[in-house]
Structure 1
Amino acid sequence: MRIHVPEGVPAVVSEAIEAANAHDTERFLDAFAATGTVDDWGRVFTGRDEIRGWSDREFIGLQVTLDDLVFVEIPDGVAVRARVGGGGFNGPSTFTFLVSGDSIDRMSITA
């Protein structure tokens, strides 16, 4: 699924969201820096192997969908409000992406 991304949003953020919606774990993981982290409501997963394990159990492995996206630029990244669907959590969440160069350093998921 191709998403509309406002100008100024780092391309790697749209790539990660598109990969999640396509259920493409490898492409999703490729968006992260080698020492990148996912903070899922305070639970932190660091590096490709930990992020893969989390994603397989709770994100892409549960056929996640991210819809109704609203982007807000923040220093060093972007916050994305999304309606989450799939076989796990369903409802609104905010995904905050901190980006360095062409990689995601941190993706935090909150209310």
Structure 2
Amino acid sequence: MTTPPPLPVPVAAALEAASAGNTEDFLAAFAPQGAVDDWGRLFRGHDAIRRWSDAEFIGKEVTLRVTGTRTEGPTTTVSAEVGGKGFNGPSDFAFTVEGAHILLMRITG
């Protein structure tokens, strides 16, 4: 069985911070003008990402159990089983990374 390559550092940091309920560390993984695309709703910049996360992600005590990963160029897609007090079920998170930060986290089914 082949072990998948490690996740890019900012992706691993964001996932760990989200599951730990640590909003500051979650935001630190994003570039200052990074964004979250939640099924077509775009939240750009740390303030907008914080408001979204407080209402729909970390604020809902999200948990993420990674079930698979794949990387194509600068984008790493993480499949996860989402739990918490909000959406529950499988979801994909496509992270576009540049250097030490996430430029975009796109959430899809």
Query: Which category describes the TM-score, using the shorter chain as reference length?
Result: over 0.9
Instruction: Trace 1:61-72 onto structure 2 (pairs within 5 A).
Output: 61-72=59-70
Match of 1:97 in 2: 95
Structure 1 stretches of 4+ moved >2 Å: 5-9
Question: In 1, are the aligned partners of 2:66 and 2:78 still within 8 Å (CA)?
Answer: no
Q: Which runs of 5+ in 1 are unaligned?
A: none
Measure how far apart 1:74 and its partner are: 1.5
RMSD: 1.3
Distance 2:66 2:99 in 1: 26
3-state SS in 1 of match to 2:86: coil
Match of 2:33 in 1: 35
Distance 2:4 2:23 in 1: 24
Match of 1:110 in 2: 108
Measure how far apart 1:8 and its partner are: 4.7
Question: In 1, are the aligned partners of 2:65 and 2:82 still within 8 Å (CA)?
Answer: yes
Identity across matched positions, percent: 52
3-state SS in 1 of match to 2:37: strand
Distance 2:29 2:66 in 1: 21
TM-score in terms of structure 2 length: 0.94
Q: Which runs of 5+ in 2 are unaligned?
A: none
Instruction: Trace 1:18-33 onto structure 2 (pairs within 5 A).
Output: 18-33=16-31
